[in-house]
Amino acid sequence: MDDKGLIEVIEELLPQAARTLGLPILGRLEAADGIKDIWMLAQPLVTALEAHPEFSEQFDRFFMGKQLCYSPRQQAPNLLRFAVREGALKAVDWLRRILRVTKTDIRVIGKVYGLFLREPVRFSNGMTLLNVSDLPDSPNSESLKQGVVLGPGMAFPSALMMEHSDVCDEPHAEGHAKFLAVAREMRRLAIAVTLSDDNASPIVTETWQEFADPDLQASEIGRIWHQNLTEGLIPDFGKNLTEEAVAWVNRFVSLPTSVSAPCEVPLTRLNMARRRHSAGDKALDGCICLESLLSGDGRGDLTHRVSLRTALLLGKTLDERRNIVKSIKKFYELRSAVVHGGTEKNSAKDCAVASEGLRLCLLAIQEIVLNGEVPNPSEWELSGGPSWNRPA
């Protein structure tokens, strides 16, 4: 089987393929009796590809974990799809280009809920936040760009994107690990928006890799993405991405890992607390936020330890520190009422306690990020507070 024979097989199948796919052949819809599944229809083409000296071999290549799968059985339907749009001759040329790919450009995309933005924003770590309508065309992004009917509980996604040029073929495990690292960085970036004062709580849900090259997009045998790893509710309504939030994100992602890592769990819990409905549940996550940031080493009552260390971190005067201790203890009382009482705590008083507790959670994390110093709360007890907030 040579190219001429392969083209003849494709052209013979084109009318039926166009009917199956519901597409015109180069602008004109031709009639065909009956509709067959594209995989069944492509069987004669599979046989022709297997007999072709250049197209018979099978291989898998991985680019940052994104699979380029070639086999006659898998690519025959794609070859027909391409031929319906571009013609048999161009389809064979397309397949030949696919065989030669050893490096390509890859995009990593993460779907983001909880943010509105007027225009794309590029962060200092190279990631871009943009509306889904501004995403480059691809099979996955096209599904996000479809219009939706407004209704109760609707949530509108935006997207984080990281572009990688000249990604080479490499073992799947190595490339996939790189993708997972980028996806994790996207989740870190989203929770860093929580540092702003506007009560934002964005999350990254599904993430995926995609080929930037339309030729390689046409070779895909299915769509795949990485599952949502974020706990809790998806935000119902997005917050506007403010300049303040962008500044906080850039500050956070530029911190040494020794400083940013201790803030990740607290930020995640504060983010989750903002997405809770009841005051008691907000207190549950808020107290975990403070404990993960400030409990550290030490003995004695946990509530006392955390309230004292929060006061040493935030209070400028003795009276301020006393008031902070009182607020944190009330925060813990609300938490304990939920944990041990089994009833929902959501009165106006409880909501006020939760709101003040979450405000102190935010200020505590902001202080660590602003000053860029690894938290050492047990040392603060002896010294009177962190280095930047000690009595004269």
Q: Which residues contact 273 (CB under 8 A, 6 or more apart)?
A: 281, 282, 283, 284, 285, 286, 289, 358, 361
Q: Cα 156–157–160 angle (5° rounding)?
A: 160
pLDDT at 342: 59
pLDDT at 154: 60
What are the extents of the domains in the chain?
3-100, 101-142+154-254, 256-383
| Collapsed DSSP state (helix, strand, coil) of residue 109 | strand
Strands of the sheet with 121-122, listed across from one edge? 121-122, 128-131, 157-168, 103-113, 203-211
Q: Which residues pair with 28 in a beta bridge?
A: 25
Q: Which residues contact 61 (CB under 8 A, 6 or more apart)?
A: 67, 68, 70, 101, 102, 169
Q: Exposure of 100 by Cβ count < 10 A (0-12 exposed, 13-18 middle, 19+ buried)?
A: exposed
Say how far apart CA 241 and CA 233 lie, in whole Å.
Answer: 20
Say how far apart CA 354 and CA 102 lie, in whole Å.
Answer: 55
pLDDT at 23: 55
CB atoms within 10 A of CB 71: 17
pLDDT at 16: 86
pLDDT average per 10 residues of sequence, the chain (392 residues): 91 88 54 66 94 93 95 94 93 96 97 92 96 91 70 75 97 96 96 92 95 95 84 84 95 95 96 93 96 82 92 94 96 89 74 96 97 90 87 68
CA atoms within 13 A on the CB side of 127: 24
CB atoms within 10 A of CB 373: 14
